[in-house]
Chains A and B, each alone.
Chain A
């Protein structure tokens, strides 16, 4: 976007998931239940795209923001870093489209490095803020390698969603939302009671 459409940066506010989540937490728009993951240990996978490549392309990487979000959910003492990490972190092994490529043996050979890193932390949960990394770690590495204590791979936003304190909207808000929803469904020809579908 920076290369082809630089004007978009004047026209729109363009943000990453880290900025959105940090903003929601700092302004109190979302509230976190710290009990949800109390006494669980976690390690953070740093995807190439948000660290090395973002740093190269935009001179911006998200180490602090990432850490901040996880620290709102886990006790600091339960966050165990992989080594190397952040800008020097190893790729999950499925970057550059490798998750969808036919070279699965090579993808898993590469991923063994990541599996060993995760195992060495002894953490129970690994966080992956990227679709591709999460699929590789959860569906590629976990069944294939000894991951030690690690039993769960969560998207960053999945972890936040699980720890959310959700307050249901007021009756008035629900009523307004349903009116908007019904108008949208009518416009788009959506009928959820239609058994034909």
Chain B
């Protein structure tokens, strides 16, 4: 390995200095309070920040450290010097080539871009499921029957518009009934869009700002098209 020349440090792509790294005291507040320090051999939060400061940015990008870090932000919250660790670690994910993003997250992001939800559920299947469950889980529920319940889809001028986490219609559809019961009891005037209803932004996780922005814009587009008054943030 070539010796580092500290006087002629390479410019990094992250462009977060000086608030990012040069003010770091190397005090280890970040890595001491982090449950994954040492879980990826040779890496921890402090070392990642120091590596970037030393111009070894690409080594951190190529390691799995930024992906095993859960971006929980505890290090950044605790840092006495205000180093933007969480923002930096997400930035490291952005610098990973898209076809080398681990796991299904990037595929889901593209699926969402093309088909309106991370898991590619077709529109008619989605609408039929909502209609069917509205009867089975709500009107016919034995303990807490909710006569008159249905899922209002594309209803204009509703008070609240919500999004849906695609894992629920895909794998745990009965869990949607928890919010439905609350809305029923409160007699809320609510709606959900028939298209682009995804509530989970995987672009946030993969460091994909462009797709993250598209996803946010779609939530707004739906609210504008349906003239809703209130947007309920996705959980």
Residues of A148-184 whose CB lies within 8 A of B: 155, 157-158, 160-161, 164-169, 173-178, 180-181, 184
Say if the beta carbon of B145 comes within 8 Å of chain A: yes
Cβ-neighbour of B205 out of A87, A96, A161 (below 8 A):
A96
CA distance A100 to B220 in the complex (A): 26
Measured CB to CB, the closest approach of chain B to A41, in angstroms, equals 21
B35-A168 in contact (CB<8A): no
Contact residues of B between 196 and 235, Cβ < 8 Å to A: 200, 202, 204-206, 213, 216-217, 219-220, 223-224, 228-233, 235
Which residues of A sit under 8 angstroms from B95, Cβ to Cβ?
none
Asked if residues B181 and A52 are in contact (CB atoms below 8 Å), the reply is: no
Bound: A12/B231 CA distance, A: 7
**Given the known A-B contacts A91-B72, A101-B102, A166-B146, are A192 and B131 also in contact in the complex, defined by CB atoms under 8 Å?**
yes
- Give the residues in chain B near A55, CB-CB below 8 Å: 77
**Cα distance A48–B77 in the bound complex, in angstroms:** 11
Most B CB contacts (10 A, CB to CB) among A31, A93, A98, A185 go to: A98
* CB neighbours of B36 from chain A (8 A): 106, 109-110
Question: Please, how many residues of chain B have a CB less than 8 angstroms from a CB on the other chain?
Answer: 75
Contact partner, A188, options B103, B153, B228, Cβ 8 Å: B153
B-chain residues with CB within 8 Å of residue A29 when the two chains form the complex: 185-188
Contact across chains for B70 and A96 when beta carbons are under 8 A apart: yes
Contact status B147-A174, CB under 8 Å: yes
**A113 (CB) vs chain B CBs: closest residue:** B35
**Interface size of A by Cβ–Cβ distance < 8 Å?**
70
B69 an interface residue at 8 Å Cβ cutoff?
yes
Q: Which 4 A-B pairs have the closest CB atoms?
A: A97-B205, A95-B70, A91-B72, A96-B71
13 contacts between A and B (CB under 8 A): A11-B224, A12-B220, A12-B231, A15-B231, A93-B35, A97-B103, A155-B175, A155-B235, A158-B178, A160-B182, A161-B179, A164-B185, A166-B144
Binding site for A on B (CB under 8 A): 35-36, 39-40, 64, 67-74, 76-78, 86, 90, 102-105, 108, 124, 127-128, 131-132, 134-135, 144-150, 152-155, 160, 165, 167, 175, 177-179, 181-182, 184-188, 194, 200, 202, 204-206, 213, 216-217, 219-220, 223-224, 228-233, 235
**Given A48-B72, A55-B77, A98-B68, list of 13 further CB < 8 A pairs?**
A4-B213, A8-B231, A12-B220, A29-B186, A30-B185, A56-B77, A88-B74, A90-B35, A95-B72, A106-B39, A110-B36, A161-B178, A173-B187
Using a CB–CB cutoff of 8 Å, the interface residues on chain A facing chain B are 1, 4-5, 8, 11-17, 20-21, 24, 29-31, 48, 52-53, 55-56, 87-88, 90-91, 93-98, 100-103, 106, 109-110, 112-113, 129-131, 155, 157-158, 160-161, 164-169, 173-178, 180-181, 184-185, 188-190, 192, 197
